[in-house]
Amino acid sequence: MDRVRISSIADQWMIPTSKTSYMAGIESKPVIAAARGVWVIDTEGREYLDFGSGQMAAALGHNHPRYVAAVRRNLETISHSTKTFLNVDRLELHERLGQILTPPLQKSLFLVSGSDAIEAAIDLARKATGGVDVLGLHMALHGSTSFITRSLTFGWNRSRHGLAAPSTAAILSPYCYRCPVGKSFPSCEVQCLASSMELADANFTGKPAAMILEPVMSAGGIVVPPPGYVKLLKQYCRERDMLLIMDESQTGLGKTGKMWGHLHEDVVPDIMTVSKHFGAGLPISAVCTTAEIADRAVENGYFATRSHACDPITCAAGVASIDIVLEEKLAERAAAIEVRVKAAIGAMAQRYDFIGDIRGRGVLLGVELVEDQATRNPANEMGREAVRRCEERGLLVQARGSHSRTNVIRLVPPMVSSEREIDQGLAILDDVFASLSRDRAGTKGLAAE
């Protein structure tokens, strides 16, 4: 497909992409035509290292052969099915997922998107507790459906989405690099959480139901809570009869270097959601909980589903995905990638004074760019420019952050990336940082003249 045809289709047939969204400018960017493994290829035949893992959902690499075989088999046997009967692939997926959940998590229910799973998780918590109020972190992203998930996505500007769902409120995020209460960990004694809960108590309009969090806030700028934070949060939840929901869309199935993001803190959530590479390339998500919570919610009328929620083809993709993660030891590989990337970027930070922080877990990593390391003022424009220059040189990454910050370069290389591919991506990043450093030196020189 040539550029003229691409523009004409986009102009005539596509609803335009908002200039304020993170997808702005998509119409004039390369158009993706194919992918394999860690690479994507555009319509002009250019290859890019995909260090965004697609939309963070190609952590197994694109078109993993085992996933392709499972999908092909189901295309020839059964792809869609009624939900008024069980099907074999669905049963196998419940069993496979159940076997890798952290006890007492055991039961699962399937949906299509990550947002679906969040909506269903909130409903589950409300039905199980009889409560309504739900808290989320103020830099979080939990989805883009029009009501509950957008309302809990405090990291975007909620005012852009019109009416917000009642009984949803934010608490301060544990963003230690920019502490929201101006303190330092550990001497802060996690003041952000204590003050937040005091305020939340004052704001609750009814009985509270749940607190939701990502084990690593991804779109908000790869923010990892400090040690002990999640344990304390669970204690606060217990004191209020609230359930703790973990959104493991981005952190689940090996990506943080362990099977689940919550294993780093040794805190088991009451409810957990899974999506992204759960379907290895096809959309399927899950809500998981304990038998006891499931029974309590169902007694109160809980159910959640979609027409394509339990399709044999997506369930077969889910089984293939879990098998790939386990058999190829992808969590261990993600942990090794983390060590390699952090070491390389740590060395770059010695040379580039605009690297403020390097953080994340496994293959969910972030490099925070700042105007200078003392003030830590976010280098938003530099973040966007770094992404553009990476793309020019054949590396796909995204600039993320919450509340209009775009200064965190998010790196999510697929867990199957070879050391060579990781080093290739890092070499491009180094080259881009070098070019930004030269530009800054030039600008400072001009200012001094």
Ligand X SMILES: Cc1ncc(COP(=O)(O)O)c(C=O)c1O
How buried is 4 (Cβ within 10 angstroms: 0-12 exposed, 13-18 middle, 19+ buried)? Answer: exposed
- 17 vs 424 by CB, closer to ligand X: 17
Q: Does 53 bind ligand X (CB under 6 A)?
A: no
Q: Does 214 bind ligand X (CB under 6 A)?
A: yes
The least distance separating ligand X from the CB of residue 145, rounded to whole angstroms, comes to 7
The least distance separating ligand X from the CB of residue 213, rounded to whole angstroms, comes to 10
Query: Which of 54, 114, 279, 413 is in the footprint of ligand X by CB under 6 A?
Result: 114
Q: Does 250 bind ligand X (CB under 6 A)?
A: yes
The least distance separating ligand X from the CB of residue 160, rounded to whole angstroms, comes to 16
Which range of residues in 101-109, 113-121, 305-313, 364-372 is near ligand X by CB under 6 A?
113-121
The least distance separating ligand X from the CB of residue 430, rounded to whole angstroms, comes to 28
Cα 58–342–364 angle (5° rounding)?
30
- 142 vs 389 by CB, closer to ligand X: 142
- 118 vs 436 by CB, closer to ligand X: 118
Query: Which of 81, 275, 398, 406 is in the footprint of ligand X by CB under 6 A?
Result: 275
Cis preceding linkage at 104, omega within 30: yes
Q: Cβ-closest residue to ligand X?
A: 114
Separation between Cα atoms, residue 370 and residue 55, nearest integer Å: 25
Which 115-154 positions form the footprint of ligand X (CB under 6 A)?
A: 115, 118, 141-144
Which 64-93 positions form the footprint of ligand X (CB under 6 A)?
A: none
- 214 vs 270 by CB, closer to ligand X: 214
- 147 vs 204 by CB, closer to ligand X: 147
Query: Which of 152, 219, 267, 411 is in the footprint of ligand X by CB under 6 A?
Result: 219
The least distance separating ligand X from the CB of residue 118, rounded to whole angstroms, comes to 6
> Is the CB of residue 212 less than 8 Å from the CB of residue 205?
no
- 56 vs 344 by CB, closer to ligand X: 56
- 53 vs 426 by CB, closer to ligand X: 53
What are the Cα distances from residue 272, in Å, to 55, 219, 246, 250, 268? 20, 18, 5, 12, 9
Query: Which of 89, 123, 247, 270 is in the footprint of ligand X by CB under 6 A?
Result: 247
The least distance separating ligand X from the CB of residue 442, rounded to whole angstroms, comes to 37
Separation between Cα atoms, residue 311 and residue 303, nearest integer Å: 17
The least distance separating ligand X from the CB of residue 141, rounded to whole angstroms, comes to 5
- Fill in the amino acid letter for 311: D
Q: Does 314 bind ligand X (CB under 6 A)?
A: no
The least distance separating ligand X from the CB of residue 192, rounded to whole angstroms, comes to 20
> Is the CB of residue 305 less than 8 Å from the CB of residue 85?
no
Which range of residues in 80-88, 111-119, 262-270, 381-389 is near ligand X by CB under 6 A?
111-119
The least distance separating ligand X from the CB of residue 175, rounded to whole angstroms, comes to 16
Which 342-371 positions form the footprint of ligand X (CB under 6 A)?
A: none
Q: Which residues bind ligand X (CB under 6 A)?
A: 113-115, 118, 141-144, 214, 218-219, 247, 249-250, 275
